A and B are shown apart, each in its own frame.
Chain A
Amino acid sequence: MMENAIKRRAFLRKAASVLAAAGVLPLVKAQTSSQASEALPSFTGPQANPYWNGVNPFVVYPQKLPLLRLTDRGIQLETPRQYFRTAFTPNEAFFVRYHLDLIPNSIDLSSWRLNIEGNVEKPVSLSMQDLLERFKPVSIAAVNQCSGNSRSRFQPRVPGGQWGNGAMGNALWTGVRLMDLLSAAGVKSDTVQLQFQGLERGPGPEGKGSHAFMKSLDWNDPVLQESIVAYQMNGEPLPMLNGFPVRLIAPGKFSTYWMKHLTWIRALNKPDDNFWMATAYRIPDTPRGNTTPADIAAGKVKTIPIGKMPVRSFIVDPDGSSKLIAGLPVEIRGVAFSGYGRVTKVEVSLDGGKTWQIASLGAFYGPYSFRTWSFQWKPTQPGRYTLAVRATDEQGNVQPDEPVWNPGGYLWNRIERQDVVVGTAS
C-alpha cells in the first residue's frame, strides 16, 4: 500500500514534469464558492427555477454540514452542488427528505428490532446484533434520488418540495441481503407485495397518510434480488436523518422505496392500498411519465406507481459563480447515472447543445453508482458560453432536451445546461 502510494507520487511528479516540458499548463479547476460575489436573491416563481439548487438558505442540523432548507418540520434538506464533485456523496452532506414530522431523535438498539411479519411461515424479530452476526454482509454503490428531484424546473409549477438538483446522492451501502432476511421468515407463496415501514410517523389519524409512511414493492419485482437492508453508508453508521439504524436500499429505484429507520417488513397477500401507494408517488402511464394539465383536468390519465430512475447527468464544475479566463484550461466535470443500468456515454456541448463531444468517464463502481465524467476545455475567445451535458445508458436511453410535466413533479431528466462567462487575459 505504502509502496504503491510512493510509486504513484513519483509517477505524478514525472507526469507533471513531462507536462511542464511540453509547455502544457497544469489543469485548473474553476473557482466555486457558496457566495462568490453577491448573495442569490429570493426566488419562488412562477417561472421555472433557473438555478442548479433550489433557492433556499443554508441551515445546520445534527450530524450534517450546512445544507439548503426546503422545510423544517418535517425535515427536507438539499445537498449543495459542490458535494457532487466526487462519485460518493459525503454522509454529512447527503440530502434529507421526510414526509411526516415525528422523526426519531434517539433510538435504543437494546430494544429496537427489525420485524419480518405478515404472510410468512415464521415471523422473525432481529436485533442489530443479529443483523451483524447472523447474516453475511454485502455492499453496493447506489444512487438515492428523490422522485421529485428538480421539481422546481416544472412549467407550470406544481406543489411539493421545490428541489433544485440536489435531492440525490450516491453512497456505498453495506448491510444484509433482503432475500437472506426473508428466507429466515419464509415468505408464503401467495404473497403479492412486500410492505416496508420505518419509525417515521405523523400526528394524523390512523389509516391516513398523515399518520404513517409505508411503501410496498411487488413480490415479483427483480429489484428485491438486489435490495439490501443497510446498516452502513460509506463505511459509517447511517446519520439519523438518513435512516439510522437501517434503511432499505432498492438499487435503481427512486428513494421513496428506500425506507428509513426500517422496522417492519410485511408480506402482503393483497396489494397495498395505503395512501403512499394508492394516491401518492404515482406517475402517468405514458412515455417519460409526461402529460398535460388539460389531460389531468379531463381525468384522462391512468397512473402507475413510480419505479426506476431515468438516465441523468449534471455539470458540477464550472458552476458559473466566477468568470473563467481565456487561454486557461478548465475541467468541465460532473456525475451521471441511470436506474436502467450503467452509463455508457457522456457527451458535452460547448454551444448550448448544437454540437456534442465525448467526455471521459471516471471509475466504474457498479451500474447503480454515480459515474464521474470530465471534459478538458481551453476557452480561447472571451465571451458567453452555454455548456450542456447528456448521458446515455446501456439500454440506449439518451437524455432528451424536452421538458417533462406531470402533476407530481416527478421524473425530470432533461439535458442540463450551465452558462459561463470567459474574460480576457490581458
Chain B
Amino acid sequence: MKRYYWMLLVLLGVWVVAQDSSLPGLKEEGNYTQGTLGQVLQPLPVTNAQPDGVYSVGAWPQYTPELADGPGKELVQSYCQVCHSSTYITMQPPLPAATWDAEVQKMIKTFGAQIPDDAAQQITAYLQAHYTPETRKQ
C-alpha cells in the first residue's frame, strides 16, 4: 500500500514539474504595468443649484492630441483652430496629397476661413508632409 502512495507522489511531482509554474494551471502571475488612462471623476450632484429655469453643464473638456512637429504646425494651430480643434486632422485616415489640398480649399472657399494664400500653401504642405498614406506615422 505504501509503495502506491510513493508512486502517486512521484507522478504528482513529474506533473508539477511539467507545468509552467508551481500552481496547477497557472501560466503567469504578478505582471503589472503602468496604466495610461487618467482618473475619471464622478459628477457632483446639482442639489445646490437654484430651482430656476437655468439648466447648465460644465465646460466641454478637450482631448486634443499633439500634431506632428514640422514647418507650418503653428499656422495650422492658429488658422485651423479658429473653427475646430486640430483633432479634426489627427482623426482622419491618411489622405492623399490632393485630398488635403481640396480640404484646405474647402475650408477657405466653402466655409469662409480667412487664410492668406501664402499661409494656406504652407498649411497644405504641412498636412501633406505628415498625414498622407506615404507620410503618416500611426
B contact set with A: CB distance below 8 Å: 36-37, 40-41, 43, 52-64, 82-85, 87-88, 91-95, 99, 103, 110-113, 133, 136, 138
Contact = CB atoms under 8 A, between A and B. Distances in A.
Q: State the 3 A-B residue pairs at the shortest beta-carbon distance, nearest first.
A: A45-B93, A110-B53, A62-B57
A204 interface: yes
Contacts of A205: 112
Interface in A48-62: 56-62
A299 interface: no
Contacts, number: 123
B112 A159 contact: no
Interface stretch (A6-14, A65-73, A180-188, A380-388): A65-73
A100 B84 CA distance: 8
Contacts of A109: 53-55
Contacts of B133: 45-46
Given A72-B64, A105-B56, A106-B55, 20 more contacts: A43-B138, A45-B94, A46-B94, A46-B133, A61-B61, A62-B60, A63-B43, A66-B40, A71-B85, A72-B63, A73-B85, A74-B84, A100-B83, A101-B85, A107-B54, A107-B55, A109-B53, A109-B55, A159-B92, A159-B103
Interface in A297-355: none
What is the interface of chain A mostly: helix, strand, loop, or mixed?
Answer: loop
A225 interface: no
A388 B117 CA distance: 50
A421 B83 CA distance: 45
B113 A62 contact: no
B56 to A, nearest CB: 4
23 contacts: A43-B138, A44-B93, A45-B94, A46-B133, A59-B63, A69-B87, A71-B84, A72-B64, A73-B64, A73-B84, A73-B85, A101-B85, A103-B60, A105-B56, A106-B54, A107-B54, A110-B52, A152-B93, A157-B93, A159-B95, A161-B91, A209-B111, A240-B55
A204 B52 CA distance: 33
A240 B111 contact: no
Contacts of B136: 44
A56 B91 CA distance: 8
A197 interface: no
Given A58-B37, A72-B61, A159 B99 contact: yes
A289 B88 CA distance: 25
A237 B91 CA distance: 31
A101 B83 contact: yes
Interface of A: 39, 41-46, 56-63, 66, 69-75, 100-101, 103, 105-112, 152, 157, 159, 161-162, 202-205, 208-211, 237, 240, 244-245, 275, 279
B21 to A, nearest CB: 19
B44 to A, nearest CB: 11
A69 B53 contact: no
Given A43-B138, A106-B55, A152-B93, A279 B110 contact: yes
A51 B41 CA distance: 28
Nearest to B138: A42
Contacts of B85: 71-73, 101
Contact of B57 (A63, A159, A245): A63
A105 B60 contact: yes
B91 A106 contact: no
A208 B108 CA distance: 11
A39 B36 contact: yes
Contact of A208 (B36, B92, B112): B112
A157 B87 CA distance: 18
Nearest to A210: B111
Contacts of A111: 53
Nearest to B87: A71
Nearest to A34: B37
Contact of A244 (B37, B55, B64): B55
B61 A210 contact: no
Contacts of A112: 53
B91 A162 contact: yes
